[in-house]
């Protein structure tokens, strides 16, 4: 049966349920700001004024809120027409970054820490991989919305190609963290769209079987070292702990040093050793969750995890309350994207996953990551605010005709 959609009036209600997602997002932003400020001001508590990095983060949050509000002013159904152009625009930018690895394009694309991930224009850094995540969810949602050929194993080829292309380009930057993020989003959206569980399980098994080949023939040496760090956490060799194992060792030490309530309540806001000294690299960025544990203890860590749990619950609620297939897939894709990124980041700081370089959404320092997170949030709110009335059977209900 053909689905007939009747879009609602183009207004949005600021008190509707979809806006409840804003509270956990703002809490995460405030936690991140407090930790970023501590890591800067702790180095010189007597310095006057707000540190530069903290100011930049405040500006980034304001920009993110504005971007989210702009997303909410247009009916999300219009995003479907832009999904493929945005996706291919991001692929072109990712391809340009790959070219920069072999053909120097500085200062437009500088090489930072051995990778080419940023495009610099007028002093502003733009990271295409962050926005590729949002464009990918839009493109995949558009592809899956009115199809059911993915109910066959052969029909999974197209959505996997949509996923593997950005994964391949991002891996060449190299950026292993974002690569890890895309597959869970793909599987979640396929599952919600009605792909058969046995097909998805078979693909997972094939992926696990190809893991050793990926390790020996695809991964670079520094990426292999990160896996070795994960496996050698109990190694007490001083040379190992001062080199390859240094970052993870200090990450876990910072987390554990906070106890239940953190150094803030025991010694003072700027008194903790991990904010007074640069013991932990990337403490304001990839490893900011360790500073959360150091400053605010187990209570602060649980608050952060609870906020992400709320975002997921609201995302699931939006998806279940949305009969439009495109909107349902968008809500699932965006919420899973945020949740997976948070889970991977938290797990790597605790030594449960290899160090990947993924930021903690809404908490870590960085304009690009914040903007991408707020854009995803805006899309979810938009879906709830403008759910169309569907005069047909519910989407992705196939019965037993394909079993």
Q: Write out residues in the chain with pLDDT < 70, as ranges.
A: 1-18, 149-150, 388-403
Structural domain contains residue 399: no
C-alpha–C-alpha distance, residues 359 and 288, integer Å: 8
Structural domain contains residue 396: no
pLDDT attached to residue 244: 85
How many CA within 13 A on the CB side of residue 186? 23
C-alpha–C-alpha distance, residues 184 and 347, integer Å: 15
On whether the pTM is more than 0.85, the answer is: yes
Give the pLDDT confidence of 87-135 residue by residue, as tens digits.
Answer: 999 999 999 999 998 888 888 999 887 788 899 988 888 999 999 999 9
Cross-strand partners of 125: 120
Structural domain contains residue 60: yes
Give the pLDDT confidence of 170-206 residue by residue, as tens digits.
Answer: 988 888 888 888 989 999 999 888 888 887 888 788 7
**Dihedral sign, CA of 339, 345, 350, 353?**
positive
Burial readout 252-267 (b: 16 or more C-beta within 10 A, e: otherwise): bebbebbeeebbbeee
Which residue range(s) make up the domain with 247? 16-388
Structural domain contains residue 124: yes
Burial readout 16-44 (b: 16 or more C-beta within 10 A, e: otherwise): eebbbbeebbebbbebbbbbbbbbbbbee
Structural domain contains residue 10: no
Give the pLDDT confidence of 294-324 residue by residue, as tens digits.
Answer: 999 999 999 999 999 999 999 988 888 888 8
Structural domain contains residue 352: yes
Helix runs in 152-287, H state only: 157-171, 176-193, 197-209, 211-217, 221-231, 238-241, 246-257, 263-266, 273-276
C-alpha–C-alpha distance, residues 357 and 367, integer Å: 15
Structural domain contains residue 403: no
Task: Work out how many domains the chain is built from and give that number.
Answer: 1
Structural domain contains residue 23: yes
C-alpha–C-alpha distance, residues 318 and 313, integer Å: 9
pLDDT attached to residue 5: 45
């Amino acid at each position: 049966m053909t689905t007939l959609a009747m879009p609602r009036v183009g207004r949005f209600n600021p008190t509707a349920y979809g806006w409840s997602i804003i509270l956990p997002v703002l809490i995460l932003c405030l936690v991140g700001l407090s930790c970023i400020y501590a890591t800067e001001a702790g180095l010189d508590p007597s310095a006057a004024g707000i540190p530069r990095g903290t100011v930049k983060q405040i500006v980034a949050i304001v920009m993110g809120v504005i971007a989210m509000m702009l997303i909410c002013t247009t009916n999300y159904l219009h995003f479907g027409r832009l999904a493929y152009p945005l996706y291919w625009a991001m692929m072109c930018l990712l391809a340009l970054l790959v070219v920069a690895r072999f053909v120097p394009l500085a200062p437009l694309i500088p090489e930072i820490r051995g990778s080419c991930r940023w495009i610099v224009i007028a002093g502003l850094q733009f990271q295409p991989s962050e926005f590729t995540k949002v464009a990918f969810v839009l493109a995949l949602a558009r592809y899956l919305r009115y199809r059911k050929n993915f109910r066959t194993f052969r029909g999974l080829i197209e959505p996997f190609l949509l996923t593997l292309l950005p994964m391949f380009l991002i891996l060449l930057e190299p950026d292993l963290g974002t690569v890890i993020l895309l597959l869970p989003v793909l599987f979640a959206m396929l599952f919600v769209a009605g792909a058969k569980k046995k097909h998805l399980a078979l693909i997972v098994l094939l992926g696990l079987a190809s893991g050793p080949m990926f390790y020996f023939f695809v991964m670079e040496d520094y990426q292999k070292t990160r896996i070795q760090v994960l496996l050698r956490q109990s190694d007490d060799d001083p040379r190992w702990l001062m080199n390859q194992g240094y970052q993870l060792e200090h990450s876990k030490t910072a987390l554990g040093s906070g106890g239940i309530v953190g150094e803030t309540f025991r010694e003072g806001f700027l008194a903790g050793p991990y904010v007074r000294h640069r013991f932990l690299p990337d403490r304001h960025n990839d490893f900011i969750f360790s500073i959360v544990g150091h400053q605010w203890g187990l209570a602060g860590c649980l608050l952060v995890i609870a906020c992400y749990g709320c975002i997921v619950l609201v995302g699931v609620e939006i998806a279940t309350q949305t009969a439009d297939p495109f909107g349902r897939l968008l809500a699932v894709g965006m919420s899973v994207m945020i949740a997976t990124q948070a889970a991977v980041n938290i797990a790597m700081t605790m030594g449960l996953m290899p160090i990947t370089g993924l930021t903690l959404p809404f908490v870590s320092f960085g304009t690009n990551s914040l903007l991408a997170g707020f854009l995803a949030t805006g899309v979810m709110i938009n879906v709830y605010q403008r759910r169309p009335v569907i005069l047909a059977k519910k989407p992705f209900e196939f019965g037993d005709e394909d079993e």
